């Protein structure tokens, strides 16, 4: 459902994504981990057509983003790391706008928008302008809007940032539910516990390159490492140095 072939993106002399090859089948929850600046967000922007690759290709379903961008985007849902919303629309109007962009029929919108707003506990705010929403509420509104057109592929860039525990739990349940329905979920996260609990496979990226790819068990075996994903992650990304640095305090 999600495929990268030699996917590369440079910014000047910096290679943010370096020859990435990856394939994610329907129903898989894939967690993309890596230190700040590793290239996670750039990868997601390449898969969602926000950035063009310097080389290689990004494919969603059977659609190459360069050749069939509209078809690829029409089956994709994207929750970016910042909630991009229009402050002077109401929550309901924003949902209508997104529904129209994705060509969701008006009858379906009339049914699903109230359901989705209710699911995210936004119904009381549906008629309020988004500028009055908190960060978490905006994040939830974007999540609700992304589910409206029933995408086959979902990209979530740090989806739990700014959410209260109840909302975070709901998002985790939604991810599991979507996966059970066959949706491919690509999730960038810093919350290793969530990756460990939810993801079928994990990819670790550093300096634009995948340095580890597999199930948690496979990764641990390869690194001959027992213990938590956090320990494994720090081991693979060279985080052991920070205990030396802590000595300086
Ligand atoms: N628009 C841009 N222009 C220049 N450099 C960028 C741009 N976007 C990202 N980068 C650089 O690319 C690298 C990867 O960034 P990013 O994909 O945002 O990392 P991550 O999401 O893993 O924290 C970083 O070094 C970042 O500074
Ligand atoms: Mg990022």
Residue keyed to tokens 């950035």: 51
Give the single-character DSSP code of 90.
B
Average pLDDT estimate for 31-41: 94
How far apart CA 91 and CA 114 sit, in angstroms, is 11
Average pLDDT estimate for 21-41: 95
pLDDT number for residue 243: 63
How far apart CA 188 and CA 195 sit, in angstroms, is 9
How far apart CA 165 and CA 143 sit, in angstroms, is 16
Confirm if 219 and 232 have CB atoms less than 8 A apart.
Answer: yes
Residue minimizing CA distance to atom 16 of ligand 1: 39
Task: Give which of 128, 121, 118, 71 is closest to 94, Cα–Cα.
Answer: 128
Q: Which of 34, 36, 39 to mutate to test the pocket of ligand 1 (most atoms within 8 A of CB)?
A: 39
pLDDT of 94 > 90? The answer is: yes
pLDDT number for residue 224: 72
pLDDT number for residue 159: 87
Residue minimizing CA distance to atom 24 of ligand 1: 37
Judging by beta carbons within 10 Å of its beta carbon (0-12, 13-18, 19+), is residue 161 exposed, middle or buried? Answer: middle
Residue minimizing CA distance to atom 11 of ligand 1: 16
For the chain, the farthest-separated pair of C-alpha atoms sits apart, in whole angstroms, at 63
State pLDDT tens for residues 132-180: 999 889 999 999 999 999 999 999 999 888 888 888 898 899 999 999 9
Give the single-character DSSP code of 239.
T
Residue minimizing CA distance to atom 26 of ligand 1: 37
Q: Which residues make Cβ contacts (< 8 Å) with residue 9, sequence separation at least 6?
A: 15, 16, 17, 39, 42, 46, 51, 53, 54
pLDDT number for residue 239: 65
pLDDT number for residue 161: 84
Q: 76: which strand partners? A: 153
Average pLDDT estimate for 241-249: 66
Q: What is the dihedral of CA 38, 39, 41, 44, to 10 degrees?
A: -140
Ligand 2 center to 188 CA (angstroms): 7
Q: Is the CB of 11 under 6 A from ligand 1?
A: yes
How far apart CA 26 and CA 62 sit, in angstroms, is 12
pLDDT number for residue 228: 78
CB atoms within 10 A of CB 94: 23
pLDDT number for residue 8: 98
Q: Is the CB of 37 under 6 A from ligand 1?
A: yes
pLDDT of 104 > 90? The answer is: yes
Residue minimizing CA distance to atom 4 of ligand 1: 11
Helix, strand, coil shares, percent, the chain, to 5:
40, 25, 35
pTM (2 d.p.): 0.93
Average pLDDT estimate for 218-241: 76
Read off the pLDDT band of 216 (50, 70, 90). confident
pLDDT number for residue 240: 58
| Phi, psi of 15, rounded to the nearest 5 degrees | -95, 100
H/E element, 171: helix 165-180
Q: Pick 242 or 76 by higher pLDDT.
A: 76
pLDDT number for residue 237: 82
Ligand 2 center to 161 CA (angstroms): 11
State pLDDT tens for residues 121-134: 999 999 999 999 99
Percentage, residues of the chain above pLDDT 70: 95
Q: Is the CB of 80 under 6 A from ligand 1?
A: no
How far apart CA 247 and CA 176 sit, in angstroms, is 41
pLDDT of 60 > 70? The answer is: yes
Q: Which residues make Cβ contacts (< 8 Å) with residue 90, sequence separation at least 6?
A: 126, 127, 128, 129, 130
- Ligand (nearest to CA of 157): 2
pLDDT number for residue 245: 64
């Amino acid at each position: 459902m999600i495929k990268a072939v030699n996917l590369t993106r440079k910014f000047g002399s910096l290679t943010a994504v370096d020859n990435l090859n990856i394939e994610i089948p329907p129903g898989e929850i894939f967690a993309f981990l890596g230190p700040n600046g590793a290239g996670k967000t750039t990868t997601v922007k390449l898969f969602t057509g926000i950035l063009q690759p310097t080389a290689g290709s990004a494919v969603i379903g059977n659609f190459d983003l360069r050749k069939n961008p509209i078809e690829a985007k029409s089956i994709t849902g994207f929750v970016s790391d910042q909630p991009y919303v229009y402050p002077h629309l109401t929550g309901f109007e924003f949902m209508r706008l997104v529904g129209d962009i994705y060509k969701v029929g008006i009858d379906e919108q009339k049914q699903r928008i109230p359901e989705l707003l209710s699911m995210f506990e936004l119904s009381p705010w549906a008629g309020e302008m988004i500028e009055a929403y908190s960060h978490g509420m905006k994040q939830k509104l974007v999540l609700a809007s992304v589910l409206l057109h029933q995408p086959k592929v979902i990209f979530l860039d740090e989806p739990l940032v700014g959410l209260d525990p109840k909302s975070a739990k709901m998002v985790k349940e939604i991810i599991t539910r979507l996966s059970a329905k066959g949706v491919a979920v690509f999730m960038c996260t810093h919350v290793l516990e969530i990756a460990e609990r939810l993801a079928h496979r994990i990819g670790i990226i550093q300096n634009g390159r995948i340095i580890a790819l597999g199930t948690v068990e496979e990764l641990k075996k390869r690194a001959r490492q027992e213990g938590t994903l956090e320990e494994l992650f720090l081991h693979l990304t060279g985080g052991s140095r920070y205990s030396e640095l802590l000595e300086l305090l």
